[in-house]
Amino acid sequence: GAVVSQHPSWVICKSGTSVKIECRSLDFQATTMFWYRQFPKQSLMLMATSNEGSKATYEQGVEKDKFLINHASLTLSTLTVTSAHPEDSSFYICSAAAGQGSEKLFFGSGTQLSVL
């Protein structure tokens, strides 16, 4: 199957700092990527849809100024958690459709963010 790479796998940061998470499609081009947040033993909550070359579409209740998404190329989307606070600590995971028009989503390995 298609491979989606996500880095870093875990990060610890101080409150008030910003953290950037990268999501790459390694063997296919992804015009659309998705960013999710997952709390322990809970479901995947869609945060935003990342579109190559245009602004991301955020889900209701997600602060776009806090969670900055950039999708500058067909293989890379980034999520920056700005001015992180302890309540932002979570597992963040991205996914990408395996080819334009494909419904099959493949996930990155996730990033565990801990804000002290």
Stretch that binds other proteins, among 11-19, 68-76, 78-86, 97-105 (CB under 8 A): 97-105
Q: Given the complex with other proteins, which of 1 and 14 has the nearer CB atom?
A: 1
- Establish if 29 lies at the interface with other proteins (CB under 8 A): no
AA letter at 26: L
Stretch that binds other proteins, among 16-24, 69-77, 79-87, 102-110 (CB under 8 A): 102-110
Helix (H, G, I), strand (E, B) or coil at 86: helix
Closest Cα partner for 107 from 10, 23, 31? 23
Q: Which two tokens stand for residue 104?
A: 């099959």
- Establish if 22 lies at the interface with other proteins (CB under 8 A): no
Q: Given the complex with other proteins, which of 14 and 41 has the nearer CB atom?
A: 41
AA letter at 104: K
- Total Cβ atoms within 10 A of residue 6: 20
Could you tell me the CA-to-CA distances from 58 to 14, 16, 67 in Å, in that order? 26, 22, 9
- Establish if 110 lies at the interface with other proteins (CB under 8 A): yes
Stretch that binds other proteins, among 18-26, 66-74, 79-87, 101-109 (CB under 8 A): 101-109
One of 15, 17, 109, 114 touching other proteins (CB under 8 A): 109
Q: Write b or e for each residue in 73-101: b if 16 or more Cβ atoms lie within 10 A of its Cβ, otherwise e.
A: ebbbbbbebeebeeebbbbbbbbbbbeee
- Where on the chain is the footprint of other proteins (CB under 8 A)? 1, 32, 34, 41-44, 46, 49, 93, 97, 101-110
